[in-house]
Chain A
Amino acid sequence: MQKQTTFNFELWRNNDKRRWSRLTNIESTHVIALPTKKIGAQTSSDFCETNDFIEAHVPHLAKQLNHINPSIDTLSITESNPLILDWRNKQASQKSAGQRLYIEAQNGGVCDLIELMPAHLVSPTYRAHEIHVRSGTTLRHWLLEVPNDITQTNDTTPCGALSFRRTLVERNATIERHYLGLGHFSKNIDHTVLTGERAHASVKGLFLPNRSGAEWDIHAHVIHDAPQTTSDNDFRGLASDGGVGIWNSIVTINKGADGSDSKQLNHNIILGQKSQIHTKPELIIFTDDVTASHGCTCGALDEDALFYLRTRGLSKEQAELLLIEAFLAETTPPQPKSLDIDIQAIVRQHRLEHKTIGAGA
């Protein structure tokens, strides 16, 4: 029988910092010090009230939460019955939205958490999420930016999302994160602490900024704070038509975290003259007995492979698309069984929007 994992689920009230301070190593200043000005995020007093927020963003949860303890609620989540947080609703896109969320996964087993976010925002969004994976539990976390229709609103000035995610992973626990970045302007600060032995963090994904002004940014910091902890950061980026992709992976291996193993990888393709990729792996190691590898590449499509495919009958555009598809497949988020959105199809559609392809990149 499938083991049920329990989520302790809490949405914060305004200015309630109890949760942050209760957890070790976290100072509330971490949250406040974020460069919110850059995307015009509002101060905390503008955040939605908790109850409104639940009603507005996760109506299906509101029902469940109402008859449980109003501040901390427990949901049973399994692989086949994931928690889906859909942030795409209309109110969220029209109103300055701030989201604070605390999630605790416990009781062992595997549980899935899927967040769906609008790719195009018309108002700035600020997210501060904290996740605690208790010992022996595996949390699989999808962070998917999904195309949304922005033609309905008059104001189509692109806005940004600033997301701060803090994750604590205990002994024998795993966090597995899958990003899909299609957004106009999205900055992700992903901070993970491996606090117990053999804890594992995997942060993988794709980013595909495909227009001038589009900027997708991830700063992922993993701190190995216990022996035999492992981490794996693997992103692929495709910047085209003036889009900008930023990948920065920092791994800190603290004293005492012996036998730790970390991998950092980032491969990118740049199409079009004004597109940019900024890639930087960083390693900070305070102990001797560790394995750490890193690698980054940036380049255009392989000319020899393109010629080969074209001599077999594929047009230039078909050959380019096939090579890009193959390139992206490596870190495309896996399809959760219970999700009715086809991730591959979204990626394919987004890829087709790259204007440079077939036009002599």
Chain B
Amino acid sequence: MLEIKDAVISVEDTPIIKGLNLSIPAGEVHALMGPNGAGKSTLSKFIAGHEDYTLESGTISFNGEDLSDMDIHERAAAGLFLGFQYPVEIPGVANHYFLKTAINAQRKERGEEELDTAAFLKELKKEMSELKMDPQFKSRPVNVGFSGGEKKRNEILQLALLKPKMAILDESDSGLDIDALQVVAEGVNRLRNQERSFLLITHYQRLLNHIKPDVVHIFADGVIVKSGGFELAQQLEAEGYKAFA
């Protein structure tokens, strides 16, 4: 589904990712683990299409389509979702209005019929109760005054409503207490299926105890140094990143 080959990615002419190879087939959950400064967030923003990141060499494709020519919103409509480490607060925009606008923008881009308000609200209500979100978050401005856990839950809510083919979750576990982590993990597990892939970006094994990955990659200084199964995450937790550097 997502194919990245020999990618060198730079920010203002400084290479951050230095020859990355990553292939995530449909239906698989991959975890990308690495220390601070390894370039994890750079990678996630680059895949989403952020203009500050340039592909110097190599290729990136999604479902066989070359991503490098696609605008951010076109990638979203094609089925890519990025869950933010720090979801952005947007004062003045009600959460439900934002969600509906996003869903319909994607549908329109794909040439599908727009979702009507009644159908949207029904689905929103259902997904919010699955995520144990207080109904008041529906009409509050997007992420404004949300706690860390509420913001991450709101990201999973968007994931559930936008139904992407592939979700990249950037440090979705950071800033969460155990209960909130459980809710987020349950949300992801519920949304796992044979077509949908996930890339979980994280520092810790903690999240992976709740969401079992198919493949674990260890990422340091802009390259993947080792790939393996869940046992790699356990080894990492015991030995630290130094063992792999």
Residues of A within 8 A of B (CB): 302, 304-305, 307-316, 318, 322-323, 325-327, 329-330
Name A's interface SS: helix
Contacting pair B48 A309 (CB below 8 A) = no
Nearest A-chain residue to B78, judged by Cβ: A313
Q: Is A313 a contact of B88 with CB atoms below 8 Å?
A: no
A312-B102 in contact given A307-B50, A307-B72, A322-B93 (Cβ < 8 Å): yes
Q: Which residues of B contact A312 (CB under 8 A)?
A: 76, 98, 102, 105-106, 158, 162
Instruction: Determine the distance from Cα of A330 to Cα of B91 in the docked complex, in whole angstroms.
Output: 10
B91 and A313 form a contact (CB under 8 A): no
Assembly CA distance A103 to B209 (angstroms): 73
Interface string of B73-113 (1 = CB under 8 A from A): 10111000110100111111100001001110110010000
Q: Tally of A-B residue pairs with Cβ under 8 A?
A: 74
The reply to whether A313 and B90 contact each other, CB–CB distance below 8 Å, is no
Q: B130 on the interface (CB 8 Å rule)?
A: no
- B residues in contact (CB < 8 Å) with A: 45, 48-50, 71-73, 75-77, 81-82, 84, 87-93, 98, 101-103, 105-106, 109, 141, 158, 162
CA distance A298 to B77 in the complex (A): 33
A326 touches B93 (CB 8 A): yes
Interface contact B73-A316, CB-CB below 8 Å: yes
Q: Say whether, besides A323-B90, A326-B90, A326-B91, A313 and B84 are in contact (CB < 8 Å).
A: no
| Bound Cα distance from A200 to B73, whole angstroms | 47
Taking a contact as CB atoms closer than 8 A, the residue among A313, A315, A322, A323 that contacts B162 in the complex is A313
In the complex, the chain B residue whose C-beta lies closest to that of A326 is: B92
Extra contacts, 6 of them, besides A310-B76, A313-B76, A313-B105 (Cβ < 8 A), are A302-B88, A312-B158, A313-B77, A322-B93, A325-B92, A326-B90
Q: In the bound complex, do residue B82 and residue A313 qualify as a contact, i.e. CB atoms below 8 Å apart?
A: no
Which chain B residues border A327 with CB–CB below 8 Å?
92
Closest chain-A Cβ to B87's Cβ sits at a distance in Å of 7
Contacts of A314 in B (CB 8 A): 73, 101-102, 105
CB-contact partner of B76 in A304, A311, A330, under 8 A: A311
Supply 8 A–B pairs (Cβ within 8 Å), ascending by A: A307-B48, A307-B72, A308-B87, A308-B88, A310-B49, A314-B73, A318-B105, A322-B101
- The docked-state distance in angstroms from the alpha carbon of A316 to that of B72 is 9
Using Cβ atoms and an 8 Å threshold, which residues of chain B touch A329?
A: 92
- Decide: A309 and B106 in contact? CB cutoff 8 A: no
Residues of chain B with a CB closer than 8 A to A325's CB: 92-93
Note all chain A residues with C-beta closer than 8 A to B162: 312-313
Contact B101–A318 (Cβ < 8 Å): yes
Chain A residue with Cβ nearest B108 = A313
Which residue from B45, B73, B87 sits with its C-beta under 8 Å from A313? B73
Please, which residue of chain A has its CB at the minimum distance from the CB of B110?
A313
Q: A318-B101, A318-B105, A322-B101 are in contact. Are A311 and B92 (CB under 8 A)?
A: no
